[in-house]
Structure 1
Amino acid sequence: MKCMNKPGTKNLITDVDGIKIGNAEDEDVMTGVTAIVPDNAAVAGVDVRGGGPGTRETEALNPDCLVERVDAVVLSGGSVYGLEAAAGAVMALAKLGRGFQMKVIRVPIVPSAVLFDLGNAGNKEWGDMPPYRRLGMAAVETAGDDFALGNIGAGYGAAAGRIKGGLGSASLISADGVQVGAVFAVNPVGSVVIPGTRHFWAWSFEQDGEYGGFGPPEFQGDMPLDIPAESRLAENTTIGVVATNVTLTKSEAKRIAIMAHDGLARAIRPVHTPFDGDSIFAISTEKKELSEPRPFGVAKIGAMAADCVARSVARAVYNARSLGGVPGFMS
């Protein structure tokens, strides 16, 4: 009998053992932060594909660099201002006793990536104190197993072309106990929905009607490819994290991140444009050893991750509601 991968109990990245998520928003500014916090320092990798990325400490995740594990990954709105969210997360983690010990101080390792939501209707007159450091601390402090989707965390102020973007998540668990999950803040220049229809580009990967069950579209001609006219160019980016319970090396984690980008290509059209800063982190919580030869096991995890990414993108938009003049998918 054929074994099928199925979503976990929550259908969230927190179905992966050892992963917690925290979200914090500023409704006035119309922005937010998401913190992905493993129970213990975790092996991680990253792959950046977009033409306009905003990141922090991604170079440290290269397989030839000293850092072996991270204490959290932070996703944030705010573009360059949002990079300060990682500083807040560092402080919150240090208070929790996380990070490696350097004489009298703890040093948490927190890579991060940002998206551009500065052009939305929120109040950006914050003077010399943008909210992101505070939001980064709050996201870590509230990390837990359950969280909402849509207008929350790093996806709070996001837009996806003509409709509201948001935060999405999904999971898959194999018959032999391999757990894979994803969480993504979706703010692309490309379209998540097939233009002129109610159908998601990722329709074929849907599980249990998780984004409406609209099914396959009926094309009346060439498949549309143009950047949506409503997209705000250079105000974009989709960022996220995939996680697995399987023990990986840094090189293997990077390979998972590379493969996971296929999920963006399945869910957003076009993707990885010069206007996007698309970045994916991969985390291993090291709860399970591979039960098959490593290259085959890594390939399996990467394929599962790509599917979770595609579903997370669609779930982000499906669950987002109208905000700041940008209509939600269900409007």
Structure 2
Amino acid sequence: MARTVRMRALQSMLAPGLGTSGQPCATDARRQVMKPGPKNSIADVAGIKVGNASDPLAKTGVTVLLPDAPLRAAVDVRGGGPGTRETDALALDTLVDRIDALTLAGGSVYGLAAADEVAAVLGARGQGFGLIPGVPVSPIVPAAILYDLANGGEKGWGEEPPYRRLAREALEAASDDVSLGAVGAGTGATAGDHPGGLGTASFLSSEGYTVAALAAVNSFGSPYVPGTDSFWAAPFEIGDEFGGRGMPERAGAAGFPPDTKAAALARQNTSLIVVATDADLSAADLKPLAVMAQDGLARAVRPAHGPTDGDIVFAVSTCTKEVPQPLMTLTELGSIAGDVVARACARGAFAAEEKS
């Protein structure tokens, strides 16, 4: 008898949609009406804006995530080829746990200069981490880059790569209207043997929290089921947000999909992702949120997290909604984050496909 009571209590805690009889309860009805935010974008997390700038001749670009107030942040890096700035500052034992902006860019190592411009502009505005009155503040602007140097664009920029200019343009363009496809950091991206791009998606949790993602998809792996135009992320699609194509009747085992990047292009990858929420999670909680969100890339692209990818997920929070039960809420938000990332990746590839 005691064992039965304990099992029912555990069931109730882990599966709040079930009553002690194991049958669906009212929570199921609530979950069935969960939906994306009004914009189905990362801008559904109030206080976050996104700016994009592209250089169509160079086939590259910059995306800036600009919050109204500093964001709490963490990061998770997978794969063998990452390119980053200030991700060490997001470790749990460092001095700061807030960031003033995030920069995503093409251009490989050259694209890291975009964050220099963002830091300079924000510093001039007085935004940043300050210790001593009268001394310039230090804006915290982590950044990550993807490889688009060999995509056929004009890259003969000599000693003046365009990334500082593009960063300033992206800052000036920041708004809550987030473009999709071959824009910003996704301008020159490729996903396997297909166009990549910038995608975004959002979701409202059963507890009223918003979880959203922004993804610049530039992967070795493919977002498509082999031999079809169906997305691997199809099981997570809401409505027809990336074409409503569904899954083939039999997708089969992917093995090593034939539409990955050719051997000559195998090192020209990395997908950049930002997951945002309004749930007031600590930096220690945002780290596992980023880890769980990485699963979304594996749901959307095959293969993922390989030795030639440098897949990076930033997890950020505006910290505006209290979280009474952090453990269970984090588990739910992490699960949602994986699905949202998968949808954002597919939306980016779908939008780029339509424009190609």
Q: TM-score, normalised by structure 1?
A: 0.94
> Could you tell me which of 116, 120, 131 is aligned with 1:87?
116
> Could you tell me which of 320, 343, 346 is aligned with 1:287?
320
Asked if residue 34 in structure 1 is aligned to residue 66 in structure 2, the reply is no
- 1:26 counterpart letter in structure 2: D
Asked if residue 113 in structure 1 is aligned to residue 144 in structure 2, the reply is yes
Asked if residue 266 in structure 1 is aligned to residue 295 in structure 2, the reply is no
Size of the aligned set, in residue pairs, is 323
Please give the secondary structure, in 2, of the residue aligned with 1:122.
Answer: coil
Moved more, 159-168 or 169-178: 169-178
> Could you tell me which of 340, 343, 351 is aligned with 1:308?
340
Aligned counterparts of 2:298 and 2:260: Cα–Cα separation in 1: 20
Instruction: Indicate the residue corresponding to 1:158 in structure 2.
Output: 189
Please give the secondary structure, in 2, of the residue aligned with 1:106.
Answer: coil
Higher relative helix content: 2
1:312-331, aligned counterparts within 5 Å? 312-320=344-352, 328=353
Instruction: Indicate the residue corresponding to 1:219 in structure 2.
Output: 250
Conserved in 2, the CA contact under 8 Å of 1:190 and 1:227? no
Conserved in 2, the CA contact under 8 Å of 1:204 and 1:216? yes
Please give the secondary structure, in 2, of the residue aligned with 1:100.
Answer: coil
Aligned counterparts of 1:227 and 1:108: Cα–Cα separation in 2: 44
> Could you tell me which of 175, 196, 207 is aligned with 1:144?
175
Conserved in 1, the CA contact under 8 Å of 2:191 and 2:218? yes
Relative to structure 1, the CA distance from residue 225 to residue 106 in structure 2 (aligned partners, 3 Å threshold; closer, same or farther) is: same
Conserved in 1, the CA contact under 8 Å of 2:181 and 2:355? no
Aligned counterparts of 1:173 and 1:155: Cα–Cα separation in 2: 26
Query: 1:279-313 deviations in whole A, cap 9, x for unaligned?
Result: 0000010110114x211111111111111100000
- Please report the RMSD computed on the Cα atoms of aligned residues, expressed in angstroms: 1.5
Q: TM-score, normalised by structure 2?
A: 0.88
Instruction: Indicate the residue corresponding to 2:222 in structure 1.
Output: 191
- Greater gyration radius: 2
Q: Sequence identity, in percent?
A: 50
Query: 1:25-49 deviations in whole A, cap 9, x for unaligned?
Result: 1111110011111110111000001
Please give the secondary structure, in 2, of the residue aligned with 1:269.
Answer: coil
Aligned counterparts of 2:125 and 2:227: Cα–Cα separation in 1: 49
> Could you tell me which of 244, 266, 271 is aligned with 1:233?
266
Relative to structure 1, the CA distance from residue 279 to residue 230 in structure 2 (aligned partners, 3 Å threshold; closer, same or farther) is: closer
Greater relative contact order structure (CA < 8 Å, 6+ sep): 1
Conserved in 2, the CA contact under 8 Å of 1:7 and 1:172? yes
Aligned counterparts of 2:69 and 2:232: Cα–Cα separation in 1: 36
Instruction: Indicate the residue corresponding to 1:323 in structure 2.
Output: none
Instruction: Indicate the residue corresponding to 1:59 in structure 2.
Output: 88
Deviation at 1:104, TM superposition (A): 3.1
Relative to structure 1, the CA distance from residue 125 to residue 288 in structure 2 (aligned partners, 3 Å threshold; closer, same or farther) is: same
Please give the secondary structure, in 2, of the residue aligned with 1:123.
Answer: coil
Deviation at 1:220, TM superposition (A): 6.8
Aligned counterparts of 1:312 and 1:90: Cα–Cα separation in 2: 27
Runs of 4 or more consecutive aligned structure 1 residues displaced over 6 Å after TM superposition: none
- 1:244 counterpart letter in structure 2: T
Query: 1:99-128 deviations in whole A, cap 9, x for unaligned?
Result: 123433121100011000001111000010
Instruction: Indicate the residue corresponding to 1:297 in structure 2.
Output: 329
Which ranges of structure 1 fall in alignment gaps of 5 or more residues? Answer: 321-327
Deviation at 1:141, TM superposition (A): 2.4
Instruction: Indicate the residue corresponding to 2:284 in structure 1.
Output: 251
Which ranges of structure 2 fall in alignment gaps of 5 or more residues? Answer: 1-25
Relative to structure 1, the CA distance from residue 24 to residue 143 in structure 2 (aligned partners, 3 Å threshold; closer, same or farther) is: same
